[in-house]
Amino acid sequence: MLENGSVLVTGATGLLGGHLVAELARRGVTTVACGGPGRGALGIDLSDPEAVASLVSAARPRVVIHAAAVTLISDCARDPERAEAVNVAGTVHLADACREAGARLVHVSTDLVFDGEHAPYDESVTPAPLSVYGRTKLAAEREAAQRVPNLLVVRTTLLFGPTLTARRGFFDQQVDALKTGSPRMRLFEDEWRTPLSLRAAAEALVAMAGEDDLRGTIHLGGPERMSRYEMGERLARHLGVDPAAVFERASRLGVAGEPRPRDVSLDSSAFHHVFPRLAVDDFESECTRMGVQ
């Protein structure tokens, strides 16, 4: 049971964070929500240990949902020091502050901690990330586990849906392109994931944040295995547009830089066993539930 003022959300200005704050509000739970540096009073730089300690000691949360990170694979590859400072050191500072305050930490991680060769992945598989992003996210999981006894790591997947903040994600860009006919976009047809709507991800994370005894690592993916091209195709049809007018098929093998995992589909049976009533619909139904039509 989450009480008013008991939850702190990091990354609240991001794609997932916006939906987390909305889901908490829907449940009537007031939240301390913070964005990144440069967001004025709402901002925090997680790489600054003193700022993180002051934030947590002032907010006195019972649970912290940690959704802040440098999330673009290309940004992490271009600037590994920043990825390390925010994703790893930032999580260390937050975990230290949680332990000091006796708060629970729900750490949002990623399917990209896996190499893509052994899908579907359940929680027993040993991660082997291929990218700087995946390596920093895995290091953050491990550092947090050494600091917070009641840590919950939630590895989630490609999240789709409209943004509720100023941040524009790939889904918003695709909807814009489908509505205007430009720009043409190239989408991988040979990289598979189990996409989940931002709505469902936020609902599930808030439910898990309210379960004090839930700890360890849990996988949170969607019900369907899809490539980005198939997602684009289904989104186009959902909006009544010919996919070929906007989307082109591309191969992950043609991308310069870090290798991309082939198939990081998640096995989310453990999650559904704990929360049998949290239904996640198919792609089109989730789009409709989020007002995309």
Nearer to ligand NAP, 39 or 78 (CB): 39
Number of residues that bind ligand NAP (CB under 6 A): 30
Query: What Rg do the C-alpha atoms of the chain give, in angstroms?
Result: 18
Query: What sign for the dihedral angle of Cα 21, 110, 55, 13?
Result: negative
- Containing 217, the helix (H) or strand (E) segment is strand 216-220
63 with 2: CB under 8 angstroms? Answer: yes
Q: Using CB under 6 A, which of the segments 25-33, 144-152, 153-161, 174-182 binds ligand NAP?
A: 153-161
88 with 76: CB under 8 angstroms? Answer: no
Alpha-carbon span 142 to 88, nearest angstrom: 9
Binding mask 246-285 for ligand NAP (x = CB under 6 A): ----------------------------------------
**For ligand NAP, which residue has the nearest CB?**
14
Active site members: 133
In the complex, what is the shortest distance from the CB of residue 39 to ligand NAP, in angstroms, rounded to a whole number? 5
Q: Using CB under 6 A, which of the segments 143-151, 155-163, 219-227, 259-267 binds ligand NAP?
A: 155-163
**What is the residue whose two structure tokens read 């003193």?**
50
15 touching ligand NAP, by CB under 6 A: yes
Determine the Cα angle at 200 with ends 1 and 238, to 5°.
160
**Which of 22, 45, 79, 185 touches ligand NAP by CB under 6 A?**
45
167 touching ligand NAP, by CB under 6 A: yes
Catalogue the E-assigned strands of 96-162: 104-110, 152-156, 159-160
Q: Using CB under 6 A, which of the segments 39-47, 228-236, 262-270, 272-280 binds ligand NAP?
A: 39-47
Q: Which two tokens stand for residue 270?
A: 């453990």
232 touching ligand NAP, by CB under 6 A: no
Alpha-carbon span 42 to 138, nearest angstrom: 27
76 touching ligand NAP, by CB under 6 A: no
**Interacting residues of 57 by C-beta distance below 8 A, sequence separation 6+:** 97, 100, 101
Nearest to 25 by CA among 35, 17, 14: 17
202 touching ligand NAP, by CB under 6 A: no
Alpha-carbon span 79 to 155, nearest angstrom: 23
In the complex, what is the shortest distance from the CB of residue 181 to ligand NAP, in angstroms, rounded to a whole number? 25
69 touching ligand NAP, by CB under 6 A: yes
- Torsion angle, alpha carbons of 210, 213, 218, 224, to 10: -50
Binding mask 95-134 for ligand NAP (x = CB under 6 A): -------------x-x------------------------
Nearer to ligand NAP, 40 or 276 (CB): 40
Q: Using CB under 6 A, which of the segments 1-9, 43-51, 259-267, 279-287 binds ligand NAP?
A: 43-51
> Interface residues with ligand NAP (CB under 6 A)?
10-11, 13-17, 35-37, 39, 44-47, 67-71, 86, 90, 108, 110, 137, 156-159, 167
